[in-house]
Amino acid sequence: GLGYERIGSELMSENGAFLSLSYKLSKAFNLGLSAKYLFWSVGDIPADNGRNDPLSNSSAGNVGVDLGLMWQTPFKGANFGLLLKNLNQPNVASGTVAGDADAGKLPMDVHLGVAYQLNAQSLVSVQFVRSDLSGDSSDNRLLVGGETQLAGDLLLRAGGSKIFEEDATGDLNAGLGYKWNKLLFDYAYHIPLDLTETNGAHRFSFAYDF
């Protein structure tokens, strides 16, 4: 599958382009791998008292890797998933920071989730996320979502998350999917409730079932 997402404002944006593959290991297990290019860009920042901002009109990026495993459990309709996000902890800093070689390095997150197929048209999911496994600023969040099939092959999705951290709330998500033969198109809109100055994140993806 191919995907692209963007979050930001007119001044600054964070972007990602994704290439994902999945492989059926056995009847019960599927392995997934994503390679992605993560990059950010900053527009023109006016000079402050004659001093130019070092990030004005700059950008940087790096390649990241995600690895996932899905298990079709013995319980009918229930699947368990594990995801290691930013497995290689890519560094997206612009240049280097004196005394801090890890500045700009993205933390590795672990996602554990369960999805349950309610019927032929609908499913619900619950996911626990532990961020920054190797750092000192780890936080936890709980995500709940659902999907239902509308008319034909049109899918409707919605969900949200709660961050278990002081002065943090979470986010909301909504999206659509459409299946055509072996091709699947997905669109999702992500609203981070703590970042009120952004326009939210848009994510588009295409997947093909070989």
Q: What is the 3-state secondary structure (H, E, C) of 38-103?
A: EEEEECCCCCECCECCCCCCCEEEEEEEEEEEEEECCCCCEEEEEEEECCCCCECCCCCECCECCC
- The position carrying tokens 């981070």 is 192
At residue 157 the predicted structure's pLDDT band, cuts being 50, 70 and 90, is: very high
Here the tokens at position 142 are 């709980």
Write the pLDDT tens digit of every residue in 35-76: 999 999 888 888 777 788 777 888 889 999 999 999 999 999
Model pLDDT for residues 87-139, shown as the tens digit of each residue:
999 998 866 544 455 667 899 999 999 999 999 899 999 999 998 776 666 78
**Domains in the chain: ranges and CATH:** 66-94+104-208 (2.40.160.10)
Rounded to 10 degrees, what is the CA torsion of 201, 204, 209, 210? -110
- Proportion of the chain above pLDDT 70, given as a percent: 91
Check residue 27 and give its pLDDT.
93
